[in-house]
Amino acid sequence: MASQVLVAANRGPLSYALSDDGTLSARRGGGGLVSGLSAALAEQPDALWICAALSEADREAVRRGVAEPGVRMLDIDPTMYDDAYNGIANSVLWFTHHHLYDVPREPVFDAEFHRQWASYVAYNRTFAQALAEEAAQGACVLVQDYHLALVPGQLRELRPDLRIAHFTHTPWASQEFLRMLPDDIRSELMWGMLGADVVGFHTWAWAHTFMGGAHLDDERGIAEPAFPAGTGGERYIRKSPWSPVRHKRTDVAVYPLGVDADELRALAHRPEVDEKLAQLRAEVGDLKTIARVDRTELSKNILRGLLAYRELLTVHPEWRGRVVHLASAYPSRQDLAVYREYTESVRELAAEINAEFGTEDWQPVLVSVQDDFARSLAVYRMTDVALVNPVRDGMNLVAKEIPVVSEAGCVLVLSTGAGAYAELRQDALTVSPYDVTQTAEALHAALSMPVGERAERTKRLAATATALPPAQWFEAQLSDLRT
Ligand code: F6P
């Protein structure tokens, strides 16, 4: 039966594992986008989620026709998938939107890049075709993230009757970074995005950079700024030479994803989390804690976080032996050499700090590389200070989750690069992600903050963090799309 509400995302709500005896078992998929969308879609029972098969086990599940209700996995050729996901989405678009290039050496747009781009176009087209097949007349389609930036334009050509939204979970690149892309590629990217009726971001900072990028291409006939739209954001009109639909209008809007307090608190009080908490308390004793929980992701700025902790121990030696840094940095995107090297650098720097300051009965940094959600929730409950210092980050839900489950209050040290900065800055201690000295001083102020003030700030942070939980976040987009 054709669907009225469809979601397209690279990752699906579940992934499969294949055991030696050939049995397939399904597990919940990972990452912020998946947890937000899964929660939102729990309230949309008839929705269809189209995603890519990410592994051999997922592909096997597709071949065997093992389908979970409400999910369609696309069996994409592994080489094409690798080019699109690792080559373009994670090595070009992710680096562009997060400003991660080491500019004297990168980026290099050569023949290999153009070959990979062709795979990215084809990978997007596979999604567009599947959506076109599955969507009912006039259905709402919500396309997620930079992996699928071309889908709105491609789908518009196939099915002009649909209402199409695109939501970007990352930042959007500044004009300087967007201009690095080859002209034709940048045009194609904007053409794809502006195929949507509504383009959504977590904060106005990213919405504005997107609109700056759209202006960039005015002279190329892609988009022209139209008129402020009252409450619905700002608007662009897609010019006809590029568009299958003449004078198509695209609204740019902001939906800051928040946390579902009840659900998160329930998850944080399961017996397995209580157990992890007891283990952690036994490990840490009555020392104060500074925690971070991230993928080992370049944009998360883990190295400068460790440098700030080292400077704290150097400049404020009174904290030696009285504090522990719990750094959860679990592996991510290990197919890419730059991520493997980064992971190694994190380990090395943590080991250096432990060698420099550690004593027989005190280890200053405890690095955990397990992607263990129960342990992370236990850390959230107990930590005195949370360090969230990305250089650039779409939202950063960790900054929102910690205050919600913190037991005795937790001081949030938050960088200006996090999307969450827009909402949480008043009650956080804010820092520049590049300023290690400022971050070290913020950690000192956080550790020294009186208990009462800490608890008050945490309460206010939790209230802000829960303002737009996933179900409402999704509903708001759906209702804007329908009007
Ligand atoms: O928006 C960024 C994002 O797609 C998140 O939703 C997700 O948590 C993260 O990147 C994970 O990336 P990947 O799917 O490559 O592991």
Evaluate if residue 245 carries a pLDDT over 90: no
Are 474 and 263 within 8 A, CB to CB?
Answer: no
354-365: average pLDDT: 98
pLDDT for the residue 95: 98
Residue with tokens 């380990």: 347
Q: Name which residue leads in pLDDT, 414 or 230.
A: 414
Q: Which H or E run contains 369? A: none
Assign 215 a pLDDT band (cuts: 50, 70, 90): low
Assign 66 a pLDDT band (cuts: 50, 70, 90): confident
pLDDT in tens, 272-310: 999 999 999 999 999 999 999 999 999 999 999 999 999
Q: Name which residue leads in pLDDT, 237 or 134.
A: 134
pLDDT for the residue 236: 57
Assign 229 a pLDDT band (cuts: 50, 70, 90): very low
Evaluate if residue 246 carries a pLDDT over 50: no
pLDDT for the residue 232: 42
Of 267, 389, 263, 268, the closest CA to residue 325 belongs to: 389
pLDDT for the residue 235: 55
Evaluate if residue 207 carries a pLDDT over 50: yes
413-421: average pLDDT: 98
108-121: average pLDDT: 98
Cα dihedral angle (461, 330, 254, 74), rounded to 10 degrees? -150
Are 51 and 12 within 8 A, CB to CB?
Answer: yes
Assign 225 a pLDDT band (cuts: 50, 70, 90): very low
Q: Is 144 in the pocket of ligand 1 (CB under 6 A)?
A: no
Evaluate if residue 447 carries a pLDDT over 80: yes
CB neighbour class for 349 (10 Å; exposed up to 12, middle 13-18, buried from 19)? buried
48-59: average pLDDT: 95
Share of the chain above pLDDT 90, in %: 83
437-453: average pLDDT: 98
Q: 282 C-alpha vs ligand 1 centroid, how far in Å? A: 33
Q: How far apart are CA 435 and CA 187, in angstroms?
A: 35
Of 65, 43, 62, 46, the closest CA to residue 54 belongs to: 62
Q: Which of 82, 85, 295 to mutate to test the pocket of ligand 1 (most atoms within 8 A of CB)?
A: 295
Q: How far apart are CA 61 and CA 55, in angstroms?
A: 10
Q: 147 C-alpha vs ligand 1 centroid, how far in Å? A: 10
CA distances from 255 to 204, 320, 483 (A): 9, 42, 16
- How much is the pTM? 0.94
Evaluate if residue 449 carries a pLDDT over 60: yes
Evaluate if residue 216 carries a pLDDT over 60: no
68-96: average pLDDT: 96
pLDDT for the residue 226: 44
184-189: average pLDDT: 92
Assign 221 a pLDDT band (cuts: 50, 70, 90): very low
Q: Is 332 in the pocket of ligand 1 (CB under 6 A)?
A: yes
Annotate 172-196 with DSSP letters as a single string.
Answer: ---HHHHTTS-HHHHHHHHHHHTTS
Q: 41 C-alpha vs ligand 1 centroid, how far in Å? A: 18
CB neighbour class for 98 (10 Å; exposed up to 12, middle 13-18, buried from 19)? buried
Q: What is the mean pLDDT of the chain?
A: 92
Q: Which of 33, 92, 202, 392 to mutate to test the pocket of ligand 1 (most atoms within 8 A of CB)?
A: 33
CA distances from 281 to 23, 206, 226, 382 (A): 39, 39, 57, 8
Evaluate if residue 31 carries a pLDDT over 80: no
Q: 33 C-alpha vs ligand 1 centroid, how far in Å? A: 6
